[in-house]
Amino acid sequence: MGVSSSSSVQNARRVLADRLGEIRRDAGLSGKQLAERLGWYASKISRIEHARTAPSADDVRAWCAACDAADQAADMIRSLRAVEGMFVEWRRMEREGLRQAQVAVRPLFERTARFRAYSSWFVPGLIQSRPYTEAVLRAVQERRVAVDDVAAAVAARMERQRVLHESGKVFAFLLEESVLRSGIGGRDVMVGQLGHLITAGAQPNISLGVIPARPDRTRMPVEGFWIFDSSQVNVELVSGYLTISQAHEVSQYASTFAELSDHAVYGAEARSIIMDALQQLG
CATH code (residue 26): 1.10.260.40
For residue 126, the domain's CATH number is: 3.30.870.10
Judge if 135 and 267 occupy the same domain.
Answer: yes
Structural domain count of the chain = 2
- Alpha-carbon gap, residue 273 to 175, rounded angstroms: 11
Backbone φ/ψ region at 227: left (φ over 0), alpha (ψ -120 to 50), beta: beta
Boundary (domain end) residue, out of 65, 85, 105: 85
pLDDT tens for each residue of the chain, 282 residues long = 344 445 566 767 888 899 999 999 999 999 999 999 999 999 999 999 998 898 999 999 999 999 999 999 998 888 787 777 667 767 777 888 999 989 989 999 999 999 999 999 999 999 999 999 999 999 999 988 999 999 999 999 999 999 999 999 999 999 999 999 988 999 999 999 999 999 999 999 999 999 999 888 888 888 899 999 999 999 887 767 788 887 888 999 999 999 999 999 999 999 999 999 999 997
Q: Which pLDDT score, from 0 to 100, does residue 230 have?
A: 94
Judge if 237 and 264 occupy the same domain.
Answer: yes
Q: Which pLDDT score, from 0 to 100, does residue 55 have?
A: 92
Boundary (domain end) residue, out of 62, 85, 108: 85
- Alpha-carbon gap, residue 174 to 224, rounded angstroms: 10
Judge if 162 and 274 occupy the same domain.
Answer: yes
Domain extent for 63: 5-85
Residue 102 burial (CB < 10 Å; 0-12/13-18/19+)? buried
Judge if 69 and 156 occupy the same domain.
Answer: no
Q: What is the 3-state secondary structure (H, E, C) of the chain?
A: CCCCHHHHHHHHHHHHHHHHHHHHHHCCCCHHHHHHHHCCCHHHHHHHHCCCCCCCHHHHHHHHHHCCCHHHHHHHHHHHHHHHHHEEEHHHHCCCCCHHHHHHCHHHHHHCCEEEEEECCCCCHHHCCHHHHHHHHHHHHHHHCCCCCHHHHHHHHHHHHHHHHCCCCEEEEEEEHHHHCCCCCCHHHHHHHHHHHHHHHCCCCEEEEEECCCCCCCCCCCCCEEEECCCEEEEECCCEEEEECCHHHHHHHHHHHHHHHCCCECHHHHHHHHHHHHHHCC
- Alpha-carbon gap, residue 248 to 48, rounded angstroms: 24
Judge if 44 and 159 occupy the same domain.
Answer: no
Judge if 105 and 165 occupy the same domain.
Answer: yes
Judge if 73 and 100 occupy the same domain.
Answer: no
- Alpha-carbon gap, residue 102 to 130, rounded angstroms: 14
- Alpha-carbon gap, residue 240 to 7, rounded angstroms: 14
Residue 66 makes CB contacts below 8 A (sequence gap 6+) with 27, 29, 34, 37, 38
Judge if 120 and 81 occupy the same domain.
Answer: no
Judge if 102 and 220 occupy the same domain.
Answer: yes
Judge if 228 and 274 occupy the same domain.
Answer: yes
Judge if 152 and 129 occupy the same domain.
Answer: yes
Judge if 108 and 78 occupy the same domain.
Answer: no
Boundary (domain end) residue, out of 20, 51, 85: 85
